[in-house]
Structures are given as C-alpha cells and as structure tokens.
Amino acid sequence: MGAGEDKGLKRRIRQGQIQKNDIARCLAELAFGRANDCVRLALEEDADIDKLDLSLLSEIRRSSQGVVEVKLMDRLKILEQLAELTGGEKDDLREFLLAMGGGGEA
C-alpha cells in the first residue's frame, strides 16, 4: 500500500467510512505478504521495531533458554475471509483450502 493510499485509509477509518475494497486490500496484503520482518525481529537483537512490518505477527516468545517462538496470522483463514468478501465460489474455495491445509484428498 502506498503512502497516499495509507493516509486515505487512515482518514476513512477515523471518519467511520471504511470501504469494502479497503478491507479486501488489507486482507490480500496479509494473505500474500512476506514474514521477513517478523523473523528479523526474532533473530536480531537490535532490530528497529518502528521500521519493521509486523502485520503478520500474532505472537512472539523467547524462553529463558533462548528458544524463540514466532506465531503468524493464519493465512488460510485470511484467504477464506478474502474470498468471502470478494464473492468467491464457496465450494471450490472450500476444496482448495482443505487441500492446502492437508485435509483434502489429493
């Protein structure tokens, strides 16, 4: 999302005028976005949090032994929501998502 689009979205949110295409764009960014910055946060001790895109990050934990656990947003659920919002065929989508999640037949 470009800087101008981001400002427009923030303005519409403040005004209570968020649009369906705003939601679809945000869901698509989550569904197809990269998790590089989430990994960077977990691995780099001096990562600048203000410069990282952590929108996919759901949870991060570091144990006393130094083990790091990173949980990301569930992309399959995000894709389901995106498809529902954009009017995707539910039966075809359901079969695809089941196969992607390991619950469908090959």
Looking at the domain assignment, is residue 54 inside a domain? yes
Model confidence, pTM? 0.64
pLDDT (tens place) for every residue of the chain, 106 residues total = 554 567 887 888 788 888 888 888 888 899 999 999 999 999 898 999 999 999 999 999 989 998 999 999 999 999 888 888 877 655 666 666 666 666 544 4
Contact predicate 42/59, CB 8 Å: no
Task: State the total domains in the chain.
Answer: 1
Looking at the domain assignment, is residue 19 inside a domain? no
Looking at the domain assignment, is residue 68 inside a domain? yes
Looking at the domain assignment, is residue 10 inside a domain? no
Please tell me the distance from the alpha carbon of residue 41 to that of residue 36, in angstroms, as a whole number: 9
Looking at the domain assignment, is residue 44 inside a domain? yes
CA distance between the termini of the chain: 36
Please tell me the distance from the alpha carbon of residue 55 to that of residue 57, in angstroms, as a whole number: 6
Looking at the domain assignment, is residue 69 inside a domain? yes
Q: Can you give the residue range of the structural domain that contains 51?
A: 33-73
Q: Given this model, what pLDDT does residue 53 score?
A: 93
